[in-house]
Amino acid sequence: MSVGDICRRDVDTVTFDASALDAARRMRDRQVGTVVVVDDGHPVGILTDRDLTVRVLAAGRDPLTRVSEIMTPSPTTITAEITIAAALGHMRAGRFRRLPVVGHDGRLIGILALDDVLAVVAEELAEVGPLLKREAPHRWLGRQT
């Protein structure tokens, strides 16, 4: 299974010249905690609700501060073709919970969240569990004879 199979294609974005207030309202309206900052479709930054809290509110900055001043620049990106295991490696190495997914032209096509990966793993484990229960008695009995 590849990243492209499970990533979300409906990505919330803002431009680097948007204000922190605009980004916060977008997060509120769309009920998301992250927006990808794009320039001509290319991810140039990422901004989270935590960033807004720490870098704007707690720092006493103006809510009209430009996103470019508070975003995390140059986010690590992945392509849709890589495996989920490889994506998890990037997440673990960089301590990321979300990774923008780009096409071969570098344009944003989706976002992969750790929660999405966990949901897939949980579904697969739920499917495997009953199989293991059915097989376990047969394997156990087979070993005794």
Could you tell me the residue ranges of all domains in the chain? 3-144
Asked if 45 and 100 count as a contact pair (C-beta separation under 8 A), the reply is: no
Q: How far apart are CA 74 and CA 71, in angstroms?
A: 9
pLDDT of residue 66: 98
91: Cα separation from own chain's centroid = 9
CA dihedral 138, 140, 142, 145 (to 10 degrees): -140
CATH superfamily of 3-144: CBS-domain (3.10.580.10)
Q: pTM of this prediction? A: 0.83
Supply the angle between the helices 114-144 and 84-94 in degrees, to the nearest 10.
120
Per-residue pLDDT tens digits for 123-138: 877 777 677 677 666 5
Distances in Å between the Cα of 99 and the Cα atoms of 9, 44, 108, 109 are 12, 12, 11, 11
pLDDT of residue 145: 47
Per-residue pLDDT tens digits for 17-29: 999 999 999 999 9
Element (H, E) at 139: helix 114-144
